[in-house]
Amino acid sequence: METWSEVDLLDEMVHIPSPSGAEEELSAFLEEVMRGRGLRSWRDEVGNVFGSTGTGDGPTVLLLGHLDTVDDPIPAARTDTRVVGRGAVDAKGPLAAMIGAATRYQDFPGRLVVAGVVEEETPASRGAMHVRKTWPKPDALVIGEPSGWDTVVLGYKGKIDVRYDVYCPPTHPSNPAPKATELAADFWQSARAAAGDEPSHASFDHTGVTLAEVHGDLSRASMSISYRTPLGFDTQALLERLHAAAGQGRVELLNAVAAVRTDRRDPVVRALTGAIRGAGGTPRHKIKTATSDMNTLAEVWPIPMATYGPGDSRLDHSDQEAIPHEDLRRGVRVLCAALRQLEELR
């Protein structure tokens, strides 16, 4: 069996680039690593990688993180105290901690599965969508995202991604007829207004809206718009408003996932909270205004779940992405202790 520590593992992982759509090298690497550490490992047809262990006579617990990163490389390095590199925080660090916990707890009285899924950073969440279509419902789920080693994430906003395209016959700039760029600018104002009276990315209870991409000229223009939505948001009503505002343009729905929120009574939340306390931390609970694979899986799996992982999420996608060795080690200890509390879950 391999004797690497989780720090060694994460150092290897961040040296393997894995932007969305190009996760194959990392997936194959982790398949071999988990097999070498005593797990039964395999990959599926979309590139997700899995490692499984346990005695099989108790609950099934799924630990699910993602392989991909944003496509913005930064130099990977290891210092005496930190692992630096794209994905160190979001979310190779949490996945490395999950692999570490599974390899340390191979006598789990049930089935313990670690999953590294593809394309979480894209609107389609292709890896998690494939898992939810092809896997039976587990008894409990932990999503691996950077919460901080002493923090449990209870929920995330929903997300709606749309694309707007418009075409106008070519004409001279002085022609008073509407131009594609002008129509796109008008549509953006309507799309922003459709988010509500007080759009905000800072509040879990308000809709946030972002003009993610825009380009065009006098005859053609397009834009991508992303909404982050609260619990109970009416997606259909939003789409109806956007179609009405599109005029001669076209609106395409790229992806929609509802907000999700659990509470402190959830068995997974309680297990993680107790484990943090047992590791000497003061547990904290957060809800986030971003979105994760927790949203995708909660839509079809009404089971105990929460999000947990070492790493400071404020460093996600930044040029300073790094994780302290000790935080990674603490994350492994917390996950192992939480799994012990989930042994009787059924």
Supply the residues annotated as catalytic: 68, 120
Nearest C-alpha neighbor of 125 from the set 301, 255, 303: 255
Residue written as token pair 């009285």: 109
Distance of CA 19 to the CA centre of its chain: 14
Q: How far apart are CA 85 and CA 88, in angstroms?
A: 5
Residue written as token pair 């109970």: 232
Q: How far apart are CA 256 and CA 274, in angstroms?
A: 34
Helix H or strand E segment including 315: none
C-alpha distances in Å from residue 58, one per residue of 53, 134, 139, 261: 12, 21, 10, 26
Q: How far apart are CA 144 and CA 169, in angstroms?
A: 49
Which residues, at least 6 apart from 302, have a Cβ–Cβ distance to it below 8 Å? Answer: none
Report helix, strand or coil for 205: coil
Residue 260 token pair: 């999700």
| CB-neighbour burial class of residue 244 (10 A; exposed 0-12, middle 13-18, buried 19+) | exposed
Residue 155 token pair: 């929920």
Residue written as token pair 């150092």: 11
**Dihedral sign of CA atoms 325, 315, 231, 123 in order:** negative
Q: Are 150 and 140 in contact (CB under 8 A)?
A: no
Q: What are the start-end ranges of the E strands in the chain?
A: 40-43, 49-53, 60-66, 77-78, 82-84, 111-117, 140-144, 151-156, 158-167, 208-216, 220-229, 250-257, 260-261, 284-288, 305-307, 322-324
Alpha-helical segments (H) within 63-175 = 92-104, 126-134
Alpha-helical segments (H) within 194-324 = 235-245, 267-278, 293-298
